[in-house]
């Protein structure tokens, strides 16, 4: 199986503009006592997560930086609500998008890194093609052992670590670079067959 990085094209014929946020907000940023960084780098949203049963839900509304212990408390409160093994970095968002969209949108609209959008019809087409809907690089400094912050920059010529690739999905983010979308050959072939635009697609080697 080959793998491909997906990006929004530099120029687009679509005018889509989104003014929306995730219904429940998200995890705050944190101040790490170990590496001294204050950060919130997550690009991941969990649209299916519903915080309405959580008495502490108002604590996820306001973006801010918290102490490490307070961040961990808030993170562990939502842990049972996300899929097993899901990554919960500072800034991870919860709930469906709520807001307004104006202009035109391509079937696969990846302009907002934290909000990749797929037309409902395009998703159904991809699923009908057998696409299953929704890491790793050599030689790099380890992330902070306490907060997990990773200062490593995405390489020009990345190589995917074959042992780290998920087997049950055809589209995913890299857990160590959440701004990078990777699709399988099955996904890319279905996109091309269906004529869904608009994505820049480049193959990424695996070893």
Measured from the CB atom, the residue of 22 and 75 that comes closer to Zn ion is: 75
- The count of residues interacting with Zn ion (CB under 5 A) is 7
Site residues for Zn ion, 63-122, by CB under 5 A, read none
Q: Is 35 in the site for Zn ion (CB under 5 A)?
A: yes
Name the DSSP letter for residue 168: S
Measured from the CB atom, the residue of 146 and 192 that comes closer to Zn ion is: 146
CA-closest candidate to residue 194, choices 186, 202, 184: 186
Which of 147, 160, 174, 180 touches Zn ion by CB under 5 A?
A: 147
Q: Is 38 in the site for Zn ion (CB under 5 A)?
A: no
Task: Identify whether the C-beta of residue 136 lies closer than 8 Å to the C-beta of residue 164.
Answer: yes
Q: How far is CA 74 from the centre of its chain?
A: 20
Rounded CA separation 93/63 (Å): 10
Measured from the CB atom, the residue of 34 and 161 that comes closer to Zn ion is: 34
Q: Is 34 in the site for Zn ion (CB under 5 A)?
A: yes
Classified as helix, coil or strand, 150 is coil
Q: Is 40 in the site for Zn ion (CB under 5 A)?
A: no
Rounded CA separation 140/109 (Å): 31
Rounded CA separation 192/38 (Å): 42
CB of 109 to Zn ion, least distance (A): 34
CB of 77 to Zn ion, least distance (A): 21
The site for Zn ion (CB under 5 A) is made up of 32, 34-35, 144, 146-147, 149
């Amino acid at each position: 199986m080959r793998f491909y990085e997906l990006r929004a094209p530099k120029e687009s014929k679509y005018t889509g503009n989104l003014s929306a946020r995730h219904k429940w907000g998200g995890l705050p940023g944190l101040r790490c006592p170990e590496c001294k960084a204050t950060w919130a780098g997550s690009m991941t949203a969990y649209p299916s997560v519903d915080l309405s049963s959580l008495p502490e839900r108002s604590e996820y509304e306001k973006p801010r930086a918290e102490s490490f212990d307070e961040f961990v408390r808030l993170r562990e409160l939502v842990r049972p609500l996300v899929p097993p093994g899901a990554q919960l970095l500072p800034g991870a968002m919860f709930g469906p998008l709520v807001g307004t969209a104006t202009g035109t949108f391509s079937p696969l609209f990846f302009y907002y890194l934290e909000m990749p959008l797929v037309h409902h019809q395009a998703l159904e087409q991809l699923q009908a093609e057998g696409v299953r809907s929704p890491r790793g690089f050599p030689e790099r400094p380890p992330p902070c052992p306490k907060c997990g912050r990773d200062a490593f920059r995405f390489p020009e010529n990345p190589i995917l670590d074959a042992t780290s690739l998920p087997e049950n999905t055809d589209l995913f983010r890299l857990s160590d670079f959440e701004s990078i979308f990777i699709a399988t050959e099955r996904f890319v072939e279905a996109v091309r067959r269906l004529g869904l635009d608009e994505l820049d697609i480049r193959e990424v080697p695996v070893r």
